[in-house]
A = this chain, B = another copy of it.
Amino acid sequence: MSGPAEHKGYAESRRLFARASRVTPGGIYGHTSPVVAVPGDFPYYAARGEGGRYWDADGNEFIDFMCAYGPMVLGHHHPEVEAAAEKQRRAGDCFNHPTEAMVELAERLVALVEIADWAVFGKNGADMTTWAGQVAREFTGRKKILKVRQGYHGSHAWCSPGHGGIIAEDRAHIHSFAWNDLDEFRDLVRRHRGQVAALIASPYHHPTFGDSALPAPGFWAGVQETCRHEGIVLIGDDVRAGFRLHLGGSHRHFGFEPDLVCFSKALGNGHAISATLGRAELKVAASRVFLTGSFWHSAVAMRAALATLAVLERDDGIGQMRQTGEKLRAGLQARAQRHGLEVVCSGPPALPFMRFAGDTDWRRQRTFCADIARRGVFFHPHHNWFVCTAHTDADLATTFDAADAAFAAVKALG
Protein backbone atom coordinates (compact mmCIF):
# COMPACT_ATOMS: atom_id res chain seq x y z
CA MET A 1 0.00 0.00 0.00
CA SER A 2 1.56 3.24 -1.06
CA GLY A 3 1.10 6.53 0.73
CA PRO A 4 -0.38 9.57 -0.98
CA ALA A 5 1.35 10.56 -4.21
CA GLU A 6 2.15 14.12 -5.26
CA HIS A 7 -1.07 15.99 -6.02
CA LYS A 8 -1.27 16.64 -9.76
CA GLY A 9 -4.02 19.27 -9.74
CA TYR A 10 -7.35 19.02 -11.56
CA ALA A 11 -6.52 20.61 -14.91
CA GLU A 12 -7.66 17.60 -16.94
CA SER A 13 -10.91 17.35 -14.95
CA ARG A 14 -11.54 21.01 -15.73
CA ARG A 15 -10.68 20.53 -19.42
CA LEU A 16 -13.10 17.63 -19.70
CA PHE A 17 -15.77 19.60 -17.86
CA ALA A 18 -15.38 22.51 -20.29
CA ARG A 19 -15.81 20.07 -23.19
CA ALA A 20 -18.76 18.42 -21.48
CA SER A 21 -20.47 21.75 -20.80
CA ARG A 22 -20.65 22.40 -24.52
CA VAL A 23 -22.59 19.20 -25.21
CA THR A 24 -24.38 18.39 -21.94
CA PRO A 25 -26.81 20.51 -19.88
CA GLY A 26 -24.88 21.46 -16.75
CA GLY A 27 -21.77 19.59 -17.95
CA ILE A 28 -22.21 16.87 -15.32
CA TYR A 29 -25.73 16.34 -14.02
CA GLY A 30 -27.32 14.36 -11.24
CA HIS A 31 -25.66 12.84 -8.23
CA THR A 32 -22.10 13.16 -9.56
CA SER A 33 -22.46 16.88 -10.34
CA PRO A 34 -19.44 18.79 -9.05
CA VAL A 35 -21.64 21.83 -8.52
CA VAL A 36 -23.09 20.22 -5.40
CA ALA A 37 -19.75 18.85 -4.12
CA VAL A 38 -16.66 21.08 -4.07
CA PRO A 39 -16.78 23.19 -7.23
CA GLY A 40 -13.38 23.89 -8.75
CA ASP A 41 -11.20 22.11 -6.22
CA PHE A 42 -12.21 18.50 -6.54
CA PRO A 43 -11.92 15.68 -9.06
CA TYR A 44 -14.66 15.79 -11.72
CA TYR A 45 -13.79 12.75 -13.87
CA ALA A 46 -12.61 9.25 -13.01
CA ALA A 47 -10.10 7.28 -15.08
CA ARG A 48 -9.66 3.92 -13.36
CA GLY A 49 -10.26 2.02 -10.15
CA GLU A 50 -8.79 -0.90 -8.25
CA GLY A 51 -10.15 -2.33 -5.00
CA GLY A 52 -10.84 0.49 -2.56
CA ARG A 53 -8.99 3.09 -4.64
CA TYR A 54 -9.55 5.05 -7.80
CA TRP A 55 -7.64 7.48 -10.00
CA ASP A 56 -9.09 10.65 -11.50
CA ALA A 57 -8.55 12.03 -15.00
CA ASP A 58 -5.43 13.89 -13.83
CA GLY A 59 -3.85 10.72 -12.44
CA ASN A 60 -4.53 11.56 -8.79
CA GLU A 61 -5.04 8.48 -6.62
CA PHE A 62 -7.77 8.38 -3.99
CA ILE A 63 -8.82 6.04 -1.24
CA ASP A 64 -12.45 5.75 -2.33
CA PHE A 65 -14.89 6.39 0.50
CA MET A 66 -17.83 6.92 -1.88
CA CYS A 67 -17.60 3.59 -3.74
CA ALA A 68 -19.46 5.11 -6.72
CA TYR A 69 -22.16 6.29 -4.25
CA GLY A 70 -22.59 2.75 -3.04
CA PRO A 71 -22.31 0.15 -5.78
CA MET A 72 -18.69 -0.90 -5.26
CA VAL A 73 -19.31 -2.87 -2.07
CA LEU A 74 -16.42 -5.28 -2.73
CA GLY A 75 -14.25 -2.65 -4.41
CA HIS A 76 -13.42 -2.08 -8.05
CA HIS A 77 -12.58 -5.16 -10.16
CA HIS A 78 -13.41 -7.78 -7.60
CA PRO A 79 -11.89 -10.88 -9.21
CA GLU A 80 -14.68 -13.34 -8.37
CA VAL A 81 -17.46 -10.98 -9.42
CA GLU A 82 -15.69 -10.14 -12.66
CA ALA A 83 -14.95 -13.80 -13.38
CA ALA A 84 -18.64 -14.65 -12.98
CA ALA A 85 -19.59 -11.71 -15.20
CA GLU A 86 -17.03 -12.66 -17.83
CA LYS A 87 -18.18 -16.28 -17.91
CA GLN A 88 -21.75 -15.14 -18.56
CA ARG A 89 -20.53 -12.56 -21.06
CA ARG A 90 -18.90 -15.29 -23.13
CA ALA A 91 -22.31 -16.98 -23.38
CA GLY A 92 -24.15 -13.72 -23.91
CA ASP A 93 -25.98 -10.98 -22.03
CA CYS A 94 -29.00 -9.52 -23.78
CA PHE A 95 -31.42 -11.91 -25.49
CA ASN A 96 -35.01 -12.42 -26.63
CA HIS A 97 -35.62 -14.21 -23.34
CA PRO A 98 -34.31 -14.20 -19.81
CA THR A 99 -31.68 -16.74 -18.83
CA GLU A 100 -31.29 -19.22 -16.01
CA ALA A 101 -29.34 -16.49 -14.17
CA MET A 102 -32.61 -14.63 -13.56
CA VAL A 103 -34.24 -17.69 -12.02
CA GLU A 104 -31.21 -18.37 -9.83
CA LEU A 105 -30.96 -14.78 -8.64
CA ALA A 106 -34.67 -14.65 -7.77
CA GLU A 107 -34.33 -17.92 -5.86
CA ARG A 108 -31.21 -16.70 -4.06
CA LEU A 109 -32.76 -13.40 -2.97
CA VAL A 110 -36.00 -15.02 -1.89
CA ALA A 111 -33.96 -17.42 0.26
CA LEU A 112 -31.88 -14.59 1.68
CA VAL A 113 -34.64 -12.11 2.52
CA GLU A 114 -37.07 -13.66 4.99
CA ILE A 115 -40.20 -11.70 4.12
CA ALA A 116 -39.79 -12.36 0.41
CA ASP A 117 -41.71 -14.87 -1.64
CA TRP A 118 -40.80 -13.43 -5.03
CA ALA A 119 -38.45 -11.05 -6.83
CA VAL A 120 -38.38 -8.89 -9.97
CA PHE A 121 -35.52 -6.97 -11.52
CA GLY A 122 -34.74 -3.59 -13.10
CA LYS A 123 -31.64 -1.54 -13.78
CA ASN A 124 -31.97 1.38 -11.36
CA GLY A 125 -33.32 2.08 -7.90
CA ALA A 126 -36.17 4.27 -9.10
CA ASP A 127 -37.32 1.57 -11.54
CA MET A 128 -38.10 -0.43 -8.43
CA THR A 129 -39.30 2.17 -5.89
CA THR A 130 -41.78 3.56 -8.43
CA TRP A 131 -43.01 0.12 -9.42
CA ALA A 132 -43.33 -0.93 -5.75
CA GLY A 133 -45.62 2.04 -5.17
CA GLN A 134 -47.72 0.94 -8.12
CA VAL A 135 -47.95 -2.59 -6.76
CA ALA A 136 -49.18 -1.15 -3.46
CA ARG A 137 -51.80 0.91 -5.32
CA GLU A 138 -52.90 -2.14 -7.29
CA PHE A 139 -53.08 -4.30 -4.16
CA THR A 140 -54.98 -1.81 -2.02
CA GLY A 141 -57.01 0.02 -4.65
CA ARG A 142 -55.84 3.23 -2.92
CA LYS A 143 -53.87 6.17 -4.25
CA LYS A 144 -51.84 7.77 -1.50
CA ILE A 145 -48.19 7.12 -0.77
CA LEU A 146 -46.57 8.42 2.40
CA LYS A 147 -42.88 9.16 2.49
CA VAL A 148 -40.34 10.76 4.76
CA ARG A 149 -39.55 14.41 4.13
CA GLN A 150 -36.18 14.64 2.29
CA GLY A 151 -36.26 10.88 1.82
CA TYR A 152 -34.67 10.05 -1.51
CA HIS A 153 -36.28 7.34 -3.62
CA GLY A 154 -34.86 8.22 -7.03
CA SER A 155 -35.26 10.82 -9.74
CA HIS A 156 -38.81 10.01 -10.84
CA ALA A 157 -41.33 12.83 -10.75
CA TRP A 158 -43.29 11.61 -7.71
CA CYS A 159 -40.22 11.81 -5.47
CA SER A 160 -37.47 13.72 -7.32
CA PRO A 161 -35.60 16.25 -5.19
CA GLY A 162 -35.87 18.62 -8.17
CA HIS A 163 -38.81 20.73 -9.21
CA GLY A 164 -38.09 21.35 -12.90
CA GLY A 165 -40.60 19.67 -15.18
CA ILE A 166 -42.73 18.43 -12.28
CA ILE A 167 -46.49 19.07 -12.38
CA ALA A 168 -48.84 19.08 -9.41
CA GLU A 169 -50.49 15.83 -10.51
CA ASP A 170 -47.17 13.99 -10.17
CA ARG A 171 -47.29 14.49 -6.41
CA ALA A 172 -51.02 14.89 -5.82
CA HIS A 173 -51.14 11.79 -3.63
CA ILE A 174 -47.67 11.91 -2.10
CA HIS A 175 -47.60 13.09 1.52
CA SER A 176 -44.52 13.53 3.68
CA PHE A 177 -43.76 13.42 7.36
CA ALA A 178 -40.61 14.00 9.38
CA TRP A 179 -38.29 11.04 9.94
CA ASN A 180 -38.80 9.43 13.34
CA ASP A 181 -41.97 11.44 13.94
CA LEU A 182 -44.49 8.71 14.63
CA ASP A 183 -47.14 11.25 15.59
CA GLU A 184 -46.95 13.06 12.29
CA PHE A 185 -47.04 9.74 10.44
CA ARG A 186 -50.11 8.57 12.36
CA ASP A 187 -51.72 11.93 11.83
CA LEU A 188 -51.30 11.58 8.06
CA VAL A 189 -52.77 8.09 8.21
CA ARG A 190 -55.73 9.36 10.22
CA ARG A 191 -56.31 12.28 7.89
CA HIS A 192 -56.26 9.99 4.82
CA ARG A 193 -57.77 6.91 6.43
CA GLY A 194 -58.63 4.23 3.89
CA GLN A 195 -56.79 6.08 1.13
CA VAL A 196 -53.17 5.25 1.93
CA ALA A 197 -51.70 2.55 -0.32
CA ALA A 198 -48.14 2.60 0.96
CA LEU A 199 -45.52 3.97 3.25
CA ILE A 200 -42.08 4.09 1.62
CA ALA A 201 -38.94 4.81 3.61
CA SER A 202 -35.29 3.89 3.74
CA PRO A 203 -34.38 1.78 6.80
CA TYR A 204 -32.67 4.80 8.32
CA HIS A 205 -32.67 8.42 7.20
CA HIS A 206 -29.75 9.61 5.07
CA PRO A 207 -30.52 13.07 3.75
CA THR A 208 -27.94 15.12 1.85
CA PHE A 209 -26.71 18.25 3.67
CA GLY A 210 -27.50 16.69 7.01
CA ASP A 211 -26.69 14.02 9.52
CA SER A 212 -27.80 10.48 8.98
CA ALA A 213 -30.45 9.58 11.54
CA LEU A 214 -31.00 6.05 12.81
CA PRO A 215 -34.54 4.97 13.68
CA ALA A 216 -35.61 6.17 17.13
CA PRO A 217 -36.59 3.42 19.58
CA GLY A 218 -40.10 2.31 18.72
CA PHE A 219 -40.28 4.17 15.41
CA TRP A 220 -40.24 1.17 13.09
CA ALA A 221 -42.38 -0.91 15.44
CA GLY A 222 -44.95 1.88 15.50
CA VAL A 223 -44.88 2.38 11.75
CA GLN A 224 -45.22 -1.32 11.16
CA GLU A 225 -48.09 -1.71 13.59
CA THR A 226 -50.01 1.19 12.05
CA CYS A 227 -49.40 -0.13 8.52
CA ARG A 228 -50.67 -3.61 9.45
CA HIS A 229 -53.68 -2.19 11.24
CA GLU A 230 -54.63 0.16 8.39
CA GLY A 231 -53.85 -2.21 5.50
CA ILE A 232 -51.00 -0.01 4.29
CA VAL A 233 -48.21 -1.67 2.30
CA LEU A 234 -44.84 -1.03 3.96
CA ILE A 235 -42.16 -0.51 1.32
CA GLY A 236 -38.55 -0.63 2.45
CA ASP A 237 -36.26 1.36 0.17
CA ASP A 238 -32.97 -0.45 0.73
CA VAL A 239 -31.40 0.85 -2.47
CA ARG A 240 -28.67 2.79 -0.71
CA ALA A 241 -27.99 0.76 2.46
CA GLY A 242 -28.80 -2.71 1.12
CA PHE A 243 -26.09 -5.38 1.59
CA ARG A 244 -23.98 -3.12 3.81
CA LEU A 245 -25.86 -3.66 7.10
CA HIS A 246 -27.39 -7.13 6.85
CA LEU A 247 -27.28 -9.68 4.05
CA GLY A 248 -31.00 -10.33 4.55
CA GLY A 249 -31.89 -6.68 4.10
CA SER A 250 -31.27 -3.63 6.30
CA HIS A 251 -34.71 -4.07 7.90
CA ARG A 252 -33.23 -7.10 9.68
CA HIS A 253 -30.52 -4.86 11.11
CA PHE A 254 -33.15 -2.46 12.46
CA GLY A 255 -35.73 -5.08 13.36
CA PHE A 256 -38.77 -4.43 11.19
CA GLU A 257 -40.54 -6.28 8.40
CA PRO A 258 -41.47 -4.56 5.15
CA ASP A 259 -44.01 -5.99 2.71
CA LEU A 260 -41.94 -4.98 -0.30
CA VAL A 261 -38.24 -4.18 -0.30
CA CYS A 262 -36.19 -2.53 -3.07
CA PHE A 263 -32.47 -3.09 -3.66
CA SER A 264 -29.96 -1.82 -6.20
CA LYS A 265 -26.51 -0.17 -5.82
CA ALA A 266 -24.41 -2.78 -3.98
CA LEU A 267 -26.32 -5.78 -5.35
CA GLY A 268 -24.13 -6.22 -8.45
CA ASN A 269 -20.89 -4.61 -7.19
CA GLY A 270 -21.08 -1.94 -9.90
CA HIS A 271 -23.07 -3.88 -12.50
CA ALA A 272 -26.39 -2.16 -13.20
CA ILE A 273 -29.17 -4.05 -11.49
CA SER A 274 -32.04 -3.44 -9.09
CA ALA A 275 -34.64 -5.69 -7.51
CA THR A 276 -37.93 -5.61 -5.66
CA LEU A 277 -38.80 -8.47 -3.36
CA GLY A 278 -42.24 -8.99 -1.90
CA ARG A 279 -44.51 -11.00 0.30
CA ALA A 280 -46.61 -13.83 -1.11
CA GLU A 281 -49.91 -11.95 -0.71
CA LEU A 282 -48.66 -9.21 -3.07
CA LYS A 283 -47.63 -11.57 -5.86
CA VAL A 284 -50.85 -11.43 -7.86
CA ALA A 285 -51.03 -7.64 -7.64
CA ALA A 286 -47.37 -7.51 -8.71
CA SER A 287 -48.10 -9.62 -11.76
CA ARG A 288 -50.70 -7.07 -12.85
CA VAL A 289 -48.38 -4.04 -12.82
CA PHE A 290 -46.53 -3.79 -16.12
CA LEU A 291 -42.78 -3.89 -15.68
CA THR A 292 -40.13 -4.10 -18.32
CA GLY A 293 -37.07 -2.54 -19.88
CA SER A 294 -34.90 -3.38 -22.88
CA PHE A 295 -31.98 -4.61 -20.76
CA TRP A 296 -33.73 -5.63 -17.55
CA HIS A 297 -33.44 -9.37 -18.24
CA SER A 298 -29.77 -9.17 -19.21
CA ALA A 299 -27.75 -11.94 -17.62
CA VAL A 300 -24.29 -10.49 -16.88
CA ALA A 301 -25.41 -8.19 -14.06
CA MET A 302 -27.43 -11.07 -12.58
CA ARG A 303 -24.38 -13.34 -12.49
CA ALA A 304 -22.40 -10.45 -10.96
CA ALA A 305 -25.08 -10.12 -8.29
CA LEU A 306 -24.99 -13.83 -7.48
CA ALA A 307 -21.21 -13.64 -7.10
CA THR A 308 -21.38 -10.46 -5.01
CA LEU A 309 -23.81 -12.06 -2.59
CA ALA A 310 -21.68 -15.21 -2.38
CA VAL A 311 -18.52 -13.26 -1.54
CA LEU A 312 -20.28 -11.01 0.98
CA GLU A 313 -21.68 -14.07 2.73
CA ARG A 314 -18.51 -16.20 2.68
CA ASP A 315 -16.19 -13.43 3.85
CA ASP A 316 -18.60 -11.81 6.32
CA GLY A 317 -18.42 -8.63 4.25
CA ILE A 318 -21.02 -7.02 6.52
CA GLY A 319 -18.82 -7.58 9.56
CA GLN A 320 -15.72 -6.35 7.72
CA MET A 321 -17.40 -3.12 6.69
CA ARG A 322 -18.78 -2.52 10.16
CA GLN A 323 -15.30 -2.89 11.66
CA THR A 324 -13.68 -0.68 9.01
CA GLY A 325 -16.39 1.93 9.49
CA GLU A 326 -15.99 1.87 13.27
CA LYS A 327 -12.23 2.34 12.97
CA LEU A 328 -12.73 5.13 10.44
CA ARG A 329 -15.09 6.98 12.73
CA ALA A 330 -12.90 6.57 15.82
CA GLY A 331 -9.78 7.62 13.92
CA LEU A 332 -11.37 10.72 12.44
CA GLN A 333 -12.86 11.73 15.77
CA ALA A 334 -9.51 11.32 17.53
CA ARG A 335 -7.66 13.43 14.91
CA ALA A 336 -10.32 16.12 14.98
CA GLN A 337 -10.09 16.28 18.75
CA ARG A 338 -6.33 16.73 18.56
CA HIS A 339 -6.96 19.87 16.56
CA GLY A 340 -9.67 21.00 18.93
CA LEU A 341 -12.34 20.56 16.29
CA GLU A 342 -15.80 19.29 17.11
CA VAL A 343 -17.10 16.85 14.52
CA VAL A 344 -20.51 15.20 14.36
CA CYS A 345 -20.40 11.58 13.19
CA SER A 346 -23.60 9.87 12.10
CA GLY A 347 -24.93 6.88 10.23
CA PRO A 348 -24.14 3.20 10.66
CA PRO A 349 -20.37 2.51 10.46
CA ALA A 350 -20.59 0.99 6.95
CA LEU A 351 -22.28 4.17 5.65
CA PRO A 352 -20.60 6.80 7.78
CA PHE A 353 -20.85 10.56 7.66
CA MET A 354 -18.94 13.27 9.43
CA ARG A 355 -19.42 17.02 9.51
CA PHE A 356 -18.18 19.89 11.61
CA ALA A 357 -20.37 21.16 14.44
CA GLY A 358 -21.78 24.62 13.79
CA ASP A 359 -20.56 24.62 10.18
CA THR A 360 -23.81 26.08 8.89
CA ASP A 361 -22.43 27.29 5.55
CA TRP A 362 -20.53 23.99 5.01
CA ARG A 363 -17.28 25.96 4.57
CA ARG A 364 -15.28 23.83 6.98
CA GLN A 365 -16.67 20.69 5.43
CA ARG A 366 -15.75 21.74 1.90
CA THR A 367 -12.31 22.83 3.03
CA PHE A 368 -11.77 19.48 4.73
CA CYS A 369 -12.96 17.46 1.72
CA ALA A 370 -10.96 19.53 -0.78
CA ASP A 371 -7.83 19.35 1.36
CA ILE A 372 -7.99 15.65 2.09
CA ALA A 373 -8.72 14.97 -1.60
CA ARG A 374 -5.43 16.67 -2.47
CA ARG A 375 -3.86 14.21 -0.03
CA GLY A 376 -5.44 11.19 -1.73
CA VAL A 377 -8.65 10.51 0.20
CA PHE A 378 -12.09 11.04 -1.31
CA PHE A 379 -14.96 12.01 0.98
CA HIS A 380 -18.11 13.74 -0.21
CA PRO A 381 -18.89 16.97 1.67
CA HIS A 382 -22.62 16.49 2.14
CA HIS A 383 -23.65 13.01 1.05
CA ASN A 384 -23.13 9.99 3.31
CA TRP A 385 -19.98 8.00 2.64
CA PHE A 386 -19.57 4.32 1.86
CA VAL A 387 -17.11 1.75 3.16
CA CYS A 388 -16.28 -1.34 1.11
CA THR A 389 -14.68 -4.68 1.94
CA ALA A 390 -11.54 -3.72 0.00
CA HIS A 391 -10.59 -0.95 2.44
CA THR A 392 -7.56 -2.05 4.49
CA ASP A 393 -6.04 -0.97 7.76
CA ALA A 394 -3.24 0.57 5.68
CA ASP A 395 -5.88 2.63 3.84
CA LEU A 396 -7.20 3.77 7.19
CA ALA A 397 -3.71 4.72 8.40
CA THR A 398 -3.14 6.77 5.23
CA THR A 399 -6.56 8.32 5.71
CA PHE A 400 -5.82 9.35 9.29
CA ASP A 401 -2.49 10.94 8.32
CA ALA A 402 -4.24 12.86 5.57
CA ALA A 403 -7.06 13.80 7.94
CA ASP A 404 -4.57 15.20 10.41
CA ALA A 405 -3.35 17.67 7.81
CA ALA A 406 -6.85 18.41 6.53
CA PHE A 407 -8.10 19.13 10.05
CA ALA A 408 -5.17 21.53 10.41
CA ALA A 409 -6.31 23.30 7.26
CA VAL A 410 -9.83 23.57 8.70
CA LYS A 411 -8.44 24.84 11.98
CA ALA A 412 -6.50 27.48 10.05
CA LEU A 413 -9.79 28.87 8.71
CA GLY A 414 -10.36 30.18 12.20
Contact = CB atoms under 8 A, between A and B. Distances in A.
Interface of A: 16, 19-20, 23-26, 28-32, 34, 43-50, 54, 56-57, 64, 66-72, 76-77, 82, 89, 91-100, 102-103, 106-107, 110, 117-120, 123-127, 130-131, 133-138, 143, 154-157, 160-162, 164-167, 169-170, 172-173, 239, 264-265, 270-272, 283-298, 378, 380
Contacts of A119: 23-24
Nearest to A50: B92
B292 A31 contact: yes
Contacts of A155: 290-293
A96 B69 contact: yes
A288 to B, nearest CB: 3
B167 A25 contact: no
Nearest to A54: B95
Given A25-B120, A124-B294, 14 more contacts: A23-B110, A32-B292, A46-B99, A47-B91, A47-B99, A49-B92, A69-B294, A71-B294, A96-B380, A138-B164, A155-B293, A164-B290, A165-B288, A271-B295
A294 B125 contact: yes
16 contacts: A19-B103, A20-B98, A20-B106, A29-B120, A30-B290, A30-B296, A46-B92, A69-B294, A71-B295, A124-B293, A137-B165, A137-B167, A160-B290, A164-B288, A165-B289, A272-B294
A166 B197 CA distance: 12
Contact of A285 (B97, B164, B271): B164
Contact of A46 (B97, B138, B283): B97
Given A162-B290, A287-B29, A295-B272, A143 B167 contact: yes
A365 B127 CA distance: 34
Nearest to A139: B165
Main secondary structure of the interface of A (DSSP, over half): loop
Interface centre among A100, A130, A283 (most CB of B within 10 A): A100
Contacts of A107: 19, 23
A173 B99 CA distance: 38
Contacts of A97: 28, 32, 34, 43-46, 56
B172 A98 contact: no
Contacts of A170: 169
B272 A20 contact: no
B294 A25 contact: no
Interface centre among A97, A103, A292 (most CB of B within 10 A): A97
Nearest to A57: B100
Contact of A96 (B64, B98, B157): B64
A30 B95 contact: no
Given A23-B106, A160-B290, A164-B288, A123 B272 contact: yes
A156 B89 CA distance: 29
Given A30-B293, A123-B272, A124-B123, A98 B45 contact: yes
A95 B49 contact: yes
B48 A91 contact: yes
A134 B295 contact: no
Contact of A162 (B99, B283, B285, B288): B288
Given A124-B295, A134-B166, A157-B134, A25 B286 contact: yes
Contacts of A103: 16, 19-20, 23-24, 45
Nearest to A121: B24
Contacts of A28: 97-98
Contact of A92 (B43, B48, B66, B95): B48
Interface centre among A99, A107, A124 (most CB of B within 10 A): A124
B286 A298 contact: no
